[in-house]
Amino acid sequence: MISKIQRRNKIKTRIRGKVSGTAARPRMTVFRSNKQIYVQLIDDLAGKTLAAASSKGIESGNKTEIAAKVGEAIAQKAIAAGITEVVFDRNGYLFHGRVKSLADAARNGGLKF
C-alpha cells in the first residue's frame, strides 16, 4: 500500500517533469504544512528564488483566509520585482482549499497563470 507522502511525491515528480520556471515566467511553488503555508517564485534556469512569502506572522483568520493573504503578499512582491506571469506548481497537493485560495488571491493581485 502506498502512503500519502509517497503518493504526493509521485504526483510532484510528474508535475515537475512538465513545469519549469524562467526569469521572465518563474515557477510559483506552494508548500503546505499542517500549520503554515509557503510560496516561492523560482527561476529554475538560474536556480534562484526571486520572491517568497509565508503565513508566519499572520494570525487572524482560519487557514484558508491566511492562505489568501499569503497569495496577495506574493502578488505584491512579484509585481514589485517586475514579474506579471508565473507558472503554477501545486507541488503534488490537490487544487482545493488552501492551495486554491492562495492561487485565486494571487490572480486577483495581478499575477497571470
**Interval 89-102 mean pLDDT:** 95
Query: Per the domain annotation, does 45 fall within a domain?
Result: yes
Question: Is 74 part of a structural domain of the chain?
Answer: yes
Using CA atoms, how far residue 33 sits from 24, 55, 99, 107, in Å, is 29, 11, 11, 22
pLDDT at position 73 over 90: yes
- Report how many domains make up the chain: 1
Predicted local confidence at residue 22, as pLDDT: 87
What digits encode the pLDDT tens for the residues 3-12? 999 999 999 9
Q: What is the pLDDT of residues 31-62, one digit of tens each?
A: 999 999 999 999 999 999 999 999 999 988 99
**Confidence band, pLDDT 50/70/90 cuts, at residue 23:** confident
Give the domain range for residue 51: 20-108
Residue tagged 529554475 (cell numbers): 44
CATH of the domain at 25: 3.30.420.100
- Grid coordinates given for 15: 508535475
